[in-house]
Structure 1
């Protein structure tokens, strides 16, 4: 089957045509399926959203109406009469109403209890509980009547359910909706509405709590009209536990079954929306959800979530049935398409098989094939006409090729002889160019060596020029140093002369000091004489005269020492003056020699700079010469390469001519085998 499919165009065309139809129909069916599914999904969500919004509004209206009604009851005369009776009973300490409390209060309370328990409007509540405002205590319940007054022991179980509502009312001092809880006096799950009871002065005197079981909400939540067989609507609390029954759960699951789904998580987060989720049964459902809005209504400090759902299987049942019908229609149309394609392919394939047989004979060298003309004007007819034209053209070209092959053979012989001569000439040219290349290479090496030497000479000349420049700088600095030395020598000579003059002044001062010492010595002798004349009274003066003579002698000795030192200083100063004069002469001679050396170095530097410039010019000329030689060598190498390429081309040409000779012989053989 596979081999037939590969060899038969008709089968392939039929299959391709069928696949094309099937793919087209499948794509159309898929597009239609997804479009219809989306349309139905939007329609179902629109229905769920509408049901959710209506249910939400109805629940809000119901709670507001119930709260308003409880507030109306709290302001009624009956509640006031019952409250007065309860207060009177507590004040009297309990007992039967006939025996304790006023007879009048008892009659009013009985009449109020009768109206509250028998009236249809009042009877809409499962229980009405009147509680104290200052403490958690029950004053009256409509289910137990006047017997409940002051019977606190009977209210312990009731208080457990009412405690939360009582606390919220006493704190808020306004109406409150309490969460659902199991209310034991009723035996059912109830929700609670609490309102404050105020006296004539507006002060809260009691709390009225109404208990309603969840049956009251069934008319709103469980009205599933338009939701089909799997539609469901239920409430969940903030703890994700059911607050109303679900279609698929028993009523006893309320306040027990925890529903942890994506829709519940989102609605408890305060989100309003819709989504396809998995419900608590594990089924795919379309869910529309929204918070009930108890906080917004200022009825409670909590909120419940409202969820409206329908199974996805039921919602998309019509789409699934349409998908099955689309598959059946697609298979039928595909079968028809395959049959029609096969018939069409056979009509196309028959003339193609005829042309294929003729083409096989032409491939074997038989050009005597004949193809009949056709009256078809479609693509197959054009193919037949084209094959006929090709065959006629091929026959004509074959005849021309046979004639051209003979001419080609004679031309190739002439080209072959020319190619041999060209190859020999190219070889000789390549040899001569190779010798020239070798010579130019030697010239280039010589020029490179000359350039390197010139470059070295230029570098050394540059170094010598720098050295001469440094020598000039050193000579100039030496001359400046000698000038500074001469100035310092002059300054020293001047100071030494000044020192010599000051030494002579010091000698004059020493002579004066020596004369003073002689006079003091003479005075001391006179003082000693006068002291001797005075006797005992002149002894003290004699001691002073002796000390003065001693000081005069010491002054003379010190003066002699200073004079000797001063003489030595004067002699040293004279020697320094002589040395300074000789130094000045030596510095003057050094300055003269330095100036002559500076002039000689300057002339040497000029000569070195001229030699350096000449060396640089020589190096530049050798560089230009080397560049020219390099270019010449490169040109010769290019010529050598071109010559080699010409030689190789000549050899290739010679080989190509031989190949042409073989080809011409082969063409003659082929032309001889073709039948025209």
Structure 2
């Protein structure tokens, strides 16, 4: 058993603690299982006992109530009581009721009522007087209404004392009928003393107290849960954790208690007190057996750990003193004795191995020294060669980089000059085309200026024509006005001519308005044409200046194209020379790189040999140190 918290303990303590824990867990498991079984059995017994008590209480109360109901019915059939209601002989009925009260102490009193609810006779004068003047109240009681219907009810049982009887009573009323006609003459009330129930359950409560169950109690409840009877004292507090069983009064025997719940209950701590006592005894036994287990485990661990401690001391002596001649004596034939014997054989073999190791280390040390010196000399020579080759490689690499840079620059210059030559040729051709186009554009602009001037003249002519049309429209308007005047003078014969004159006048007005709009438009067009002519003349002058500048630029571009062609030829010659130089330098760099790679591989081999020599030297030193540690 490997537990984290046992790591710092000695073997003796670990064995003792492990055995104690295993024993404690085993005993606790068995104890818990036993207590669980005991609790289950005890719980069944407790519930069975409570169920029996509840059923017993139900049967007792049920028989008592059934007996009281039968008694009340038989008492209500008494001839004297019937005669008293028929012939008002209440002194005789008082004697009968008093005799019944004397012979039946469980009944607190008897009262005889007529059909109007008036108390006409009672077992005592005081009881009869207590009902005087309460006829309406009597008729409204549940027991009286139930008696009129020929049945019994428990609704009259309340939680407080009855004012007439001075105690809690269960009123049972039965009708008193005529022996001849069967007509109802009145009602007889028998007030059953409800405190008598305590005498009924007294035996059951006493049995529970004899079992040391002081909290045992019996209750009677209605179906709605209201408590009718509780065997516990009124000052007793409520049960916090109650174990209860109940029995329900069925309808197999008809009585006023049908549907009542009869409950037997008690406090859970008191009910399970035997289980607590058993648990205390089990814990005491657990402590006792655990102490015995720890003592036995300690004795066992001591017997196992003592030989192992002797072996540990012997091993410590060998490690500290280096004396392999030490012997271990263990007088045991068990596994520990076998371990001691094996340890002795190991020590003997270790002595022989140490002697051979000391002899071998001397030879190995001399060989390693010679090999280390030769390897060091070879490494120094190769280091000098490698340094020289590395410098050569660096120089060759710099030359190669410079050559590559010159090649790239010459290639770039060649590309630039070629492009410049192409651009110069294209620019020269483009410049010629531009000059021709500009010359043609100049001529077209001149023609456009003449056309625009002609358009201005035409616009002026149209303006004159529009003025003429306006004059004609004015004359037509005057003629139409005169015609309208003449038509008015002509009377009926001039009406048609007047209509024509109005139409002509309207057309004349429209012509005048249209002519004005045309005149305004022609003025705007004339101004626009004049502005365009001015701008055309300025553009033609600027175009002439531009043509002169472009011609001068063309001459300069032709000279520049000639210079670019010369530079392109020189750049091609330089690029060819640089390419040839770069090829030679690449061959030199490749040869130097191969030589450097070979030198690196040689250096790695020498370094590996040196490392192996160093490792071998360290191993020889460790072997020599180990060999010197032990004495054979």
TM-score (norm 2): 0.55
Does residue 413 of the first structure (1) align with residue 373 of the second (2)?
A: yes
- Provide the rounded CA distance (Å) in 1 between the counterparts of 2:48 and 2:467: 135
Tell whether 2:118 aligns with 1:102: no
Task: Decide whether aligned partners of structure 1 residues 219 and 184 sit closer, same or farther in structure 2, where only a CA change above 3 A counts.
Answer: farther
Shift of the 380–440 alpha-carbon distance from structure 1 to 2, 3 Å rule, reads farther
Quickly say closer, same or farther: Cα 1:363–1:65, change in 2 above 3 A.
same
Take 2:508 and 2:32, find their aligned partners in 1: how far apart are those partners?
142
Pick one of 121, 125, 143 that aligns with 2:107: 125
Aligned to 1:58: 56
Structure 1 match to 2:28: 30
Q: Secondary structure at the match of 1:289?
A: strand
1:192 match: secondary structure:
strand
| Structure 2 residue aligned with 1:175 | 153
User: Deviation at 1:72?
Assistant: 2.8
The answer (yes or no) to whether the contact 1:198–1:204 under 8 Å persists in 2 is yes
**C-alpha deviation, 1:49, in angstroms:** 0.9
Match of 2:193 in 1: 211
Conserved? CA contact 1:13–1:341, under 8 Å: yes
Query: 1:134 deviation in Å?
Result: 7.4
Aligned length: 492
Of 244, 249, 266, 1:308 maps to: 266
Instruction: Give how far 1:50 is off.
Output: 1.2
Structure 1 residues 295 and 103: CA distance shift in structure 2, 3 A: closer
Structure 1, residues 152-172: CA drift from partner, whole Å, max 9, x if none?
A: 4799xxx99xx9986996999
| Equivalent residue number for residue 222 of structure 1 | 205
3-state DSSP of counterpart to 1:149: helix
- Equivalent residues of 2:114, 2:120 under 8 A apart: yes
Secondary structure of the residue aligned to 1:316 is: helix
C-alpha change, 1:218 and 1:565, in structure 2 (3 Å) is closer
The residue aligned with 1:489 is: none
- Paired with 1:447 and 1:139, the residues of 2 have a C-alpha distance of 150
Q: Distance in 2 between matches of 1:420 and 1:79?
A: 146
CA displacement at 1:675 relative to structure 2: 3.9
RMSD of aligned residue pairs (Cα, Å)? 6.6
- The answer as to whether partners of 2:80 and 2:96 remain within 8 angstroms in 1 is no
1:635-660 CA-partner distances (Å, limit 9, x unpaired): xxxxx9xx999999989986996686
Residue of structure 2 equivalent to 1:68: 66
Residue 193 to residue 300, structure 1, CA distance change in 2 (3 Å): farther
Matched, 1:192 2:177: no
- Displacement of 1:57: 1.9
Partner of 2:341: 384
Taking structure 1 as reference, are residues 242 and 359 closer, same or farther at Cα in structure 2, changes over 3 Å only? farther
Residues 365, 51 of structure 1: CA spacing in aligned structure 2 closer, same or farther, 3 A cutoff? Answer: closer
User: Per-residue deviation at 1:222?
Assistant: 1.2
From 220, 231, 240, the counterpart of 1:262: 240
Matches of 1:134 and 1:445, distance apart in 2: 142
Change (3 A) 1:237 1:575: same
Q: What are structure 1's unaligned runs of at least 5 residues?
A: 1-8, 89-100, 247-253, 264-286, 451-494, 528-540, 542-551, 591-639
Identify if the C-alpha distance between structure 1 residues 206 and 562 changes in structure 2 by more than 3 Å, giving closer, same or farther: same
Q: 1:560, 1:333 → 2: CA distance?
A: 145
Q: What is the aligned partner in structure 1 of residue 439 from structure 2?
A: none
Aligned to 1:357: 314
Instruction: Provide the C-alpha distance between the structure 2 equivalents of 1:559 and 1:19, rounded to a whole number of angstroms.
Output: 137
In structure 1, what is the Cα distance between the partners aligned to 2:513 and 2:289? 150
Distance 1:583 1:35, change over 3 A: same
